[in-house]
Structure 1
Amino acid sequence: MTSPPLMTAADAARWIAVPTAASHKYTRGVLGVVTGSSPYPGAAVLGVEAALRTGVGMLRYLGDARPSDLVLQRRPETVTVPGRVQAWLLGSGMGPAADRDGAARDRLALAVDSGCPLVLDAGALDLVDTASAPRVLTPHAGELAALLGASRAEVEQHPLASARAAAERHGATVLLKGSTSIAVEPGGRARAARSAPAWLATAGAGDALAGILGALVATHAEQVRAEPAVLVDLAAAAAVLHGLAAEAASAGGPFTVLDLCAQLGPTIARLLREHPTP
């Protein structure tokens, strides 16, 4: 099967929403986030950090007390009450449906029922068929195998076909994470992203990628509603930004996911300088 076209840095730069003098926090995109849990609070911190550094006007975080406290300690600008949202990021650091308590179910239902575009990661992948809004899944090979009822080896051997099968089955865009990430939309169009160093294979990297993608979806929410197929471009762009920021953080050696997040602003600034919008 032919490999999908690679998204370049220049391609990704076109999906960065640059504010103008007339912009305010609502026009710059409001991202709602339901991630993390008491056992895995760090996923919430990393996703929020990445989303804010990618560029949204406001971020609303709804979660358990422990991750909420940690998010506010790290990013005090985060809003922790329900309100206006243009897109949602769900599931990072959350367990399967059987492990959710009533509060977690209510938060996820609020997001799914909102009609806003959704980024479904990790513990929220099972919600794909309960939502009607445009949505993008961000599984790794093991999670995609579970969605398809296949083995991880089969997915790793046939990544494009596997991502395409899931996109068609669930009517959602799929971003299959890996050394080469592949984004596929239900109509079959696909993009690949390959810009990350091998040092990026580390815990928390996927949480940051989900945050980056959530920010891009929130800043393009109206376009996504009108044309859900653009999610494939946003997903591939997120993977490119993730990889380039990791490359900058690494400089040839190991790094932490917070180091990656700290490089998102400078990476975006460099892309905008090198690839200005016509």
Structure 2
Amino acid sequence: MTDFFRAEEAAELIAVPDEGDDKYSRGVLGVMTGSAQYPGAAVLGVEAALRTGVGMVRYVGPESAKQLVLARRPEAVSGRGRVQAWLVGSGMDAESRTGDETALLRDALREDLPAVIDAGALDLVGDAAGPVVITPHYGELARLLGAERADIAADPARFASRAAEQLGVTVLLKGFVTHVAGDGVLLKARSATPWLATAGSGDALGGVLGALLATHSDQILADRAVLPRLAAAAAVIHGIAGDRASNGGPVTVLDLAAALPATIAHLLGTRA
């Protein structure tokens, strides 16, 4: 039986800046998310990434989403530039993407950098040159594998492992119990309150995970085997922040994001 990934293990994977760091050495996350239909996904992912801890977020996306991102988080930088990792696909629809949007996504994924691929970019996983974590829910994984959603729900661990082997990526299969598979490893995370079954929760998870990839980019490029642990850590951090924000009642995703710094501080306090 696979043990649950523990908060103490997640704490060890949080990068802490020192006095010699600057915004570039702390990690720069490129974010290509959101759409005219779902601009809020971009806001939530950027918000969560910044509150998890990166030196900079570079946002590349549609104008409607960009304006919302900059209004909410003016420290985000608009446009392409040097990054250490990518978060792509949240709030996008593969069937309605334009050719220009698809080309931008492919360009980002071919940069040989760690990448989180979510939702509307999952069909481009084969274009990625660097280490990848995909973050599907049951329905999205069913479409990727040509399987039935009910079968995946009945045995998520098996299908997460199958997808990881078949696609050559790390798979973070979202659910109340999150299953992470990659490099022959299977991990489980369960720290979230059921109140987090709400729109936008996965967008925030993508931001948390993107931040962890950006702050560990060099380690990932040296050894991809760290990816499953980082993905499980993201699920744990996201879940604990949601529980902190909920306090036993309903929670919004911006509430969760606001709870991330205190969650990070608490986890760091548990480190030896």
Same fold (TM over 0.5): yes
- Amino acid corresponding to residue 237 of structure 2 in structure 1: L
> Which residue number corresponds to residue 242 of structure 2?
246
Q: Does 1:182 align with 2:179?
A: yes
- Aligned-pair Cα RMSD in Å: 0.8
Mark the runs of 5 or more structure 2 residues left unpaired by the alignment.
Answer: none
**Structure 1 CA distance for aligned equivalents of residues 49 and 128 of structure 2:** 22
Conserved in 1, the CA contact under 8 Å of 2:106 and 2:128? no
- Amino acid corresponding to residue 26 of structure 2 in structure 1: R
SS in 1 for 2:77: coil
> Which residue number corresponds to residue 121 of structure 2?
124
Question: 1:150-173: CA deviations, max 9, x gaps?
Answer: 111100111010000000010000
**Structure 2 CA distance for aligned equivalents of residues 65 and 129 of structure 1:** 27
Question: 1:58-102: CA deviations, max 9, x gaps?
Answer: 100000010000000000000112110110000000001x31113
**Structure 2 CA distance for aligned equivalents of residues 173 and 199 of structure 1:** 26
**Structure 2 CA distance for aligned equivalents of residues 274 and 119 of structure 1:** 27
**Structure 1 CA distance for aligned equivalents of residues 145 and 103 of structure 2:** 27
Question: 1:31-78: CA deviations, max 9, x gaps?
Answer: 000000000000000000000000000100000010000000000000
**Structure 2 CA distance for aligned equivalents of residues 110 and 132 of structure 1:** 10
**Structure 2 CA distance for aligned equivalents of residues 156 and 109 of structure 1:** 30
State the 4+ residue runs in structure 1 displaced beyond 6 angstroms.
none
Q: 2:230 aligns with which of 234, 239, 246?
A: 234
**Structure 2 CA distance for aligned equivalents of residues 220 and 274 of structure 1:** 20
Conserved in 2, the CA contact under 8 Å of 1:5 and 1:190? no
Q: 2:90 aligns with which of 89, 92, 99?
A: 92
SS in 1 for 2:116: strand
Question: 1:113-146: CA deviations, max 9, x gaps?
Answer: 2111110000011111111210000000111111
- Amino acid corresponding to residue 57 of structure 2 in structure 1: L
- The equivalences for 1:1-278 within 5 A come to 2=1, 4-96=2-94, 98-185=95-182, 187-276=183-272
**Structure 2 CA distance for aligned equivalents of residues 204 and 246 of structure 1:** 12
- Amino acid corresponding to residue 42 of structure 1 in structure 2: G
SS in 1 for 2:172: strand
Question: 1:220-258: CA deviations, max 9, x gaps?
Answer: 000111111111000000000000000000000001000
**Structure 1 CA distance for aligned equivalents of residues 68 and 103 of structure 2:** 21
Question: 1:8-42: CA deviations, max 9, x gaps?
Answer: 11000001000001010011000000000000000
**Structure 2 CA distance for aligned equivalents of residues 107 and 247 of structure 1:** 36
SS in 1 for 2:78: coil
**Structure 2 CA distance for aligned equivalents of residues 43 and 230 of structure 1:** 27
SS in 2 for 1:115: coil
Question: 1:168-224: CA deviations, max 9, x gaps?
Answer: 010000000000101100x32111100000100000000000000000000000011
SS in 2 for 1:123: helix
**Structure 2 CA distance for aligned equivalents of residues 165 and 111 of structure 1:** 26
SS in 2 for 1:36: coil
- Amino acid corresponding to residue 45 of structure 1 in structure 2: V
Mark the runs of 5 or more structure 1 residues left unpaired by the alignment.
Answer: none
**Structure 2 CA distance for aligned equivalents of residues 275 and 6 of structure 1:** 18
**Structure 2 CA distance for aligned equivalents of residues 75 and 258 of structure 1:** 12
**Structure 1 CA distance for aligned equivalents of residues 49 and 242 of structure 2:** 15
Q: Percent identity?
A: 57
SS in 2 for 1:263: helix
Conserved in 2, the CA contact under 8 Å of 1:90 and 1:121? yes
